[in-house]
């Protein structure tokens, strides 16, 4: 059963004047009700203008009664962003289930065998799609470590290669770094090295390019724009933060200024890049 506050994908089964009945696609078709008062933020003249039989909706769980097996849901409390993100997640999970079925067919396994694999993945990874992406990026060993046999892991990885294409995002920012204290070059070098070694999301990569002293470009590549954006922020802070603290404490360092902060999170096109900065 879902919990209060969860977002769920549901299919409208019938529409009445007082509300719309739906079945929850992710919970074995459990039935729920969207009362007319939870259909829209504006006055509803005709509920059928907002919900129709067979329509897929993203809904928010308001109340759950396990005794009566009843779930009250809301459409009006779901934001546009929540709707798009939830539908994308749901579609990915459906694709992952199709991949598991194809892998089972490839191995001539039963539906029960595939269901066992599904449970293992959900138990270990909390979802079906993310471990398939990891296997695509790092190899079937990821699935073996998660508890699958080598046979299943290899079959799933092979099918995944034909069904999923990893998309990567890049973001970049420029920092200006100066230090007039003796040993300033080494201080700057350490700050940039620290930025390259920050703890980052799986599959993310940080590169630092010299674009003419005192300017350096920090470029991040990651599986998603959100991960790339977050990693870039951490990298910039790693460069600027310690030096600012040291400057405040000793009064000996010029403040490092990020000259492109307002534009820092733009996605750039592929092309020739300036010389790659090496810590040594």
Per-residue pLDDT reduced to its tens digit, 163-210 = 988 777 888 888 877 777 777 777 778 888 888 888 776 778 888 888
**pLDDT at position 273, please?**
36
What separation, in Å, do the N-terminal and C-terminal C-alpha atoms of the chain show? 56
At residue 180's C-alpha, the angle toward residues 175 and 185, to 5°, is 65
Instruction: State which residues of the chain have pLDDT below 70.
Output: 201, 241-280
Q: Tell me the C-alpha distance between 276 and 206, whole Å.
A: 11
**pLDDT at position 214, please?**
78
**pLDDT at position 253, please?**
41
Give the residue from 74, 72, 94, 93 showing the smallest Cα distance to 83: 74
- Please give the structure tokens belonging to residue 179: 């230090």
**pLDDT at position 266, please?**
32
Under a CB-based contact definition with an 8 Å cutoff, are residues 274 and 189 in contact? no
**pLDDT at position 68, please?**
73
Q: Looking up tokens 């798009």, which residue turns up?
A: 84
Q: Are strands 30-35 and 56-65 parallel, antiparallel or unpaired?
A: unpaired
Q: Tell me the C-alpha distance between 190 and 248, whole Å.
A: 18
Domains plus CATH for the chain? 7-78 (2.40.50.140), 81-163 (1.10.150.190), 169-263 (3.30.70.1130)
**pLDDT at position 32, please?**
96
**pLDDT at position 250, please?**
54
């Amino acid at each position: 059963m879902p919990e209060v506050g969860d977002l769920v994908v549901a299919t409208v089964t019938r529409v009445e004047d007082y509300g719309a009945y739906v079945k929850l696609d992710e919970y074995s078709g459990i039935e729920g009700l969207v009362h007319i008062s939870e259909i829209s933020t504006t006055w509803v003249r005709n509920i059928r203008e907002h919900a129709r039989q067979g329509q897929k909706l993203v809904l928010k769980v308001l109340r759950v009664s396990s005794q009566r097996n009843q779930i009250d849901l809301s459409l009006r409390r779901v934001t546009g962003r929540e709707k798009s993100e939830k539908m994308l997640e749901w579609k990915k999970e459906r694709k992952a289930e199709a991949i598991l079925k194809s892998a089972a067919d490839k191995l001539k396994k039963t539906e029960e065998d595939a269901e066992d694999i599904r449970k293992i993945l959900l138990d270990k990874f909390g979802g079906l799609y993310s471990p398939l992406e990891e296997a695509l990026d790092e190899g079937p060993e990821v699935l073996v470590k998660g508890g699958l046999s080598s046979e299943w892991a290899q079959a799933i990885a092979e099918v995944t290669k034909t069904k999923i294409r990893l998309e990567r995002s890049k973001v970049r920012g420029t920092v200006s770094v100066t230090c007039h204290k003796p040993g300033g070059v080494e201080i700057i070098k350490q700050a940039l090295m620290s930025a390259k070694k920050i703890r980052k999301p799986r599959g993310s990569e940080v590169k630092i390019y010299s674009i003419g002293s005192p300017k350096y470009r920090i470029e991040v590549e990651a599986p998603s724009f959100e991960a790339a954006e977050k990693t870039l922020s951490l990298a910039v802070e790693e460069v600027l933060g310690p030096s600012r603290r040291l400057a405040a404490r000793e009064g000996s360092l010029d403040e490092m200024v990020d000259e492109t902060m307002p534009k820092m999170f733009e996605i750039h096109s592929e092309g020739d890049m300036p010389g790659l900065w090496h810590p040594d």
